[in-house]
Amino acid sequence: MLIVHGLGDHQGRFVGLADNMARNGYQVVIYDQRGNGRSGGMRGDTTIEYMHRDLDVVLQYVDRSLSTFCYGHGLGAAIIISFCLINRHVNF
């Protein structure tokens, strides 16, 4: 399970969800989007292109031999949907 947080958010708010999913046998990946949480750079300084690029990097890290699904909160959902529409080769 890949969790993508929303605007002005951070991965820490989803630790409870991640822990619950892990207890139920899921592998969970969460990351702070550029300009949010513990990521570098100025707060909120990003573009949709950077968000897509960062999501692509994280997806390369995820063990794709397993079924993968994404949970996007707020803007995170929009990032996942737009990424999939642009990159139709991605199969979750």
- On whether residue 51 sits in a domain, the answer given is yes
**What is the per-residue burial (b if ≥16 Cβ within 10 Å, else e) of 34-66?**
bbbbeeeeeeeebeeeebbebbeebbeeeeeee
Report angle CA 82, 87, 88 to the nearest 5 degrees: 105
pLDDT in tens, 32-51: 888 776 777 777 678 899 99
- On whether residue 58 sits in a domain, the answer given is yes
Q: Which domain holds residue 34?
A: 2-86
Give the amino acid at 56: D
- On whether residue 16 sits in a domain, the answer given is yes
pTM (2 d.p.): 0.84
- On whether residue 92 sits in a domain, the answer given is no
Count of the separate structural domains present in the chain? 1
- On whether residue 42 sits in a domain, the answer given is yes
Chain position carrying tokens 């990521």: 39
pLDDT in tens, 1-30: 999 998 888 899 999 999 999 999 999 999
d(CA 20, CA 4): 16
